[in-house]
Chains A and B, each alone.
Chain A
């Protein structure tokens, strides 16, 4: 065993280039990864291709390329008001949710990070309790409350509960980040005559870009994909975000799978495009944020 410890101190040459993997290992790696990737992609691909087929074609051969490319399934949806309305609704709800979650969360976190007051520790824990249970647990009282506030069937009826349930995560991430900023900054700003508010707006927030991105991405993705809250709070189809829209569409066209597949493809397309454009930030935001919170 003593020899072993010696070899720890003098590892084999590893100046940059690692030892090349053997051919067997490579084949094993690639075949495994390709099989899993196929399982991920085939359902998505057949969905997208299915939108180009006729129903009969879909029934005969769900796998292959369309025998005849039918563009009308897609174009009808793309030229319909309904698709754009639902995407717009989702976008509006998500943007409002993100802005409010960021602003309310950062402001509360700022006080928790910089001011100690009577009950501040208790209050912080009060917010953190929100991390522990999903909105579904209180969905009925939440519905009654939103109804009594007259917010039923409004965007706010979805946005405000979403913000409230996102606050715990937002406050926790922001507060830890604010506390990690060097306190010299703070002293310098105060010597120069800045108050809390200017410090918050001109120093803390600009320095918090990474955490703004994390919180923003988590709450945007959550809101964009959310189904339960809009389902409970919205009645009129004109206000439906796209996940509700898919369900209504499925209800209407029940077995006209070619149309439904085209609709699904078009509704998930924005997510997929944005994911590939901003993959680094999205993966980092969704995983790192989850780990920290």
Chain B
């Protein structure tokens, strides 16, 4: 978010200085501009982003149904937060979100990097493969979730078909409370690896080919070239990719709803599905707001500290 680098490139040397250039330029009055150009964005942003976030913090101290204004008698102090953290489903949601982050980082990022090295090699059709890999990313989460609900269906779907072909009992991955979260993880990877791959392809393009060639001449094996040259030079891309995986996992909602809706037995709740089913659906404004505030704090802390600690040099 730093801006010191983006300055206009001057072409003054090629052009004689005009009188107008030396005279301090009056660029017209600024007030009309400020009064016309800023308010639309400012109003929209304040009304629909900042105020709701502030109100979430405010409402989270009340036990309130959302009508009128929260009265003093509705004040419950921190008890909503207590209820949130004591709620076993919320803790499950936290664990699931953490699991999604860990798996994304451990599976998706290496997978994306590996595919990026394949898809950026100079073979015929590599560009087509890139397109195919990226395709799931442009599909809506809801559509991806629905497609995979079919795939995972033990009666009609592919999993059922495979079980049938192998002559074993049908498996119902998303109906099994131990398997369901991994089934969702599979869809997350299926949908998002292409995006991460594109990040890595862009990262690979910035690496100077002559470095790799030099190493090759010196007899470095492909493995050595990858781990000693490519990987260290991809550092900033790795950090970026992990950042997106984390942010994406915290927001996961659209994909879970068509797949499991948070079930079975709340085994696949994420923080946002929890907020939806326990706050919005039951119109528990105070409780739901408390969940929102917790999520907000997690998001902002992660974003800030990650940018500070890991991405400060990028």
Interface positions of A (Cβ within 8 A of B): 4, 7-8, 11-12, 14, 18, 21, 26, 29-30, 32-33, 36-37, 39-44, 46-47, 50, 55, 58-59, 61-63, 100, 103-105, 107-108, 110-111, 114-115, 117, 123, 126-134, 136-145, 160-161, 163-165, 167-168, 171-172, 175-176, 179-184, 186-187, 190-191, 195-197, 200, 221, 224-228, 232, 243, 246-247, 250, 255, 257, 260-261, 264, 267-268, 271-272, 275-276, 279, 282-283, 286-288, 290-291
Assess whether B44 is interfacial by the CB under 8 Å rule. yes
Contact yes or no, A138 B49, CB < 8 A: yes
- Chain B residues in 8 Å Cβ range of A103: 40
Assess whether B82 is interfacial by the CB under 8 Å rule. no
Interface string of B129-163 (1 = CB under 8 A from A): 10111111111111100111011010111101100
With contact pairs A140-B289, A165-B48, A232-B280 given, residues A108 and B218 touching in the complex (Cβ less than 8 Å): no
Contact yes or no, A140 B280, CB < 8 A: yes
A57 to B80, CA, bound (A): 52
**Which of A200, A225, A288 is the most central at the interface, judged by chain B CB atoms within 10 Å of its CB?**
A225
Contact yes or no, A136 B143, CB < 8 A: no
Assess whether B308 is interfacial by the CB under 8 Å rule. no
Shortest C-beta distance, A151 to chain B (Å), equals 10
Determine which of B1, B47, B140, B244 lies in contact with A227 in the assembled complex, contact meaning CB atoms within 8 Å: B140
Contact yes or no, B253 A136, CB < 8 A: yes
Assess whether B38 is interfacial by the CB under 8 Å rule. yes
Interface positions of B (Cβ within 8 A of A): 1, 3, 6-12, 15, 18, 20-21, 25-28, 30, 32-34, 36-38, 40-42, 44-45, 47-53, 55-56, 59, 66, 115, 118-119, 121-123, 126, 129, 131-143, 146-148, 150-151, 153, 155-158, 160-161, 190, 194-195, 198-199, 202, 209-211, 213-214, 217-218, 240, 244, 250-251, 253-254, 257-258, 272, 275-276, 279-280, 285, 288-289, 292-293, 295-296, 299-300, 303-304
- Chain A residues in 8 Å Cβ range of B155: 59, 255
- Chain A residues in 8 Å Cβ range of B53: 133, 137-138, 141
- Chain A residues in 8 Å Cβ range of B55: 138, 141, 144-145
With contact pairs A139-B280, A141-B289, A196-B33 given, residues A11 and B59 touching in the complex (Cβ less than 8 Å): no
Determine which of A8, A130, A143 lies in contact with B214 in the assembled complex, contact meaning CB atoms within 8 Å: A8
With contact pairs A7-B218, A62-B161 given, residues A167 and B251 touching in the complex (Cβ less than 8 Å): no
A264 to B148, CA, bound (A): 11
Determine which of B147, B195, B209, B292 lies in contact with A44 in the assembled complex, contact meaning CB atoms within 8 Å: B147
- Chain A residues in 8 Å Cβ range of B240: 291
Contact yes or no, B59 A167, CB < 8 A: no
Could you list 29 A-B pairs, sorted by A, with CB under 8 Å? A7-B218, A8-B210, A11-B214, A29-B118, A30-B123, A39-B190, A40-B133, A47-B150, A50-B150, A134-B299, A136-B272, A136-B295, A138-B53, A138-B55, A140-B59, A141-B285, A145-B48, A180-B6, A182-B11, A196-B33, A224-B140, A225-B254, A227-B257, A232-B280, A243-B143, A247-B146, A255-B155, A268-B143, A283-B134
Given contacts A190-B25, A268-B139, 14 further A-B contacts (CB under 8 A): A11-B213, A21-B122, A21-B123, A127-B45, A132-B304, A133-B295, A145-B52, A160-B48, A191-B25, A221-B138, A227-B141, A228-B254, A282-B138, A286-B195
Shortest C-beta distance, A229 to chain B (Å), equals 10
- Chain A residues in 8 Å Cβ range of B157: 62, 257
- Chain A residues in 8 Å Cβ range of B15: 184
8 smallest beta-carbon distances between A and B, as pairs: A225-B140, A164-B48, A108-B41, A138-B52, A141-B55, A141-B52, A62-B161, A107-B37
Determine which of A36, A44, A61, A114 lies in contact with B161 in the assembled complex, contact meaning CB atoms within 8 Å: A61
Contact yes or no, A7 B214, CB < 8 A: yes
Q: For residue A290, which residue of chain B has the nearest CB?
A: B244
A276 to B8, CA, bound (A): 36
Does more than half of chain A's interface fall in helix, strand or loop, or is it mixed? helix
With contact pairs A33-B119, A59-B156, A132-B303 given, residues A279 and B251 touching in the complex (Cβ less than 8 Å): no
- Chain B residues in 8 Å Cβ range of A130: 45, 49
Shortest C-beta distance, B258 to chain A (Å), equals 6
CB within 8 Å: A-B pair count: 327
Does more than half of chain B's interface fall in helix, strand or loop, or is it mixed? helix
Q: For residue A145, which residue of chain B has the nearest CB?
A: B52
Determine which of A42, A133, A139, A175 lies in contact with B158 in the assembled complex, contact meaning CB atoms within 8 Å: A42
Contact yes or no, B213 A117, CB < 8 A: no
Contact yes or no, A264 B147, CB < 8 A: yes
Contact yes or no, A137 B156, CB < 8 A: no
Contact yes or no, A40 B52, CB < 8 A: no
